[in-house]
């Protein structure tokens, strides 16, 4: 049970990190290349 929770937590953190990187790159693209 604890192992499953840790595995899920690590997976969740990886997804959060990916989303954060994607949003930061999106923001930087918008600021560097204005429409």
As a whole number of angstroms, the distance between CA 20 and CA 14 comes to 10
For residue 11, give its domain range.
Answer: 1-25
Report if residue 10 sits inside a domain.
yes
Model confidence at 34, pLDDT cuts 50, 70, 90, reads low
Report if residue 16 sits inside a domain.
yes
Would the pLDDT of 35 be above 60?
no
Q: What does pTM read for this prediction?
A: 0.60
Report if residue 30 sits inside a domain.
no
% of residues, the chain, pLDDT over 90 = 49
Domains contained in the chain, number: 1
Report if residue 20 sits inside a domain.
yes
Report if residue 18 sits inside a domain.
yes
Q: Strands, E, within the chain: which ranges?
A: none
As a whole number of angstroms, the distance between CA 13 and CA 6 comes to 10
Which helix (H) or strand (E) segment holds residue 21: the answer is: helix 2-32
As a whole number of angstroms, the distance between CA 23 and CA 16 comes to 10
User: Would you state the pLDDT for residue 28?
Assistant: 74
Q: Per this entry, what is the length of the chain? A: 35
Sign of torsion over alpha carbons 21, 26, 27, 28 = positive
């Amino acid at each position: 049970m604890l192992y499953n929770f840790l595995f899920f937590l690590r997976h969740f953190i990886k997804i959060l990190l990916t989303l954060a990187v994607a949003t930061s790159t999106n923001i930087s693209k918008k600021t560097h290349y204005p429409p």
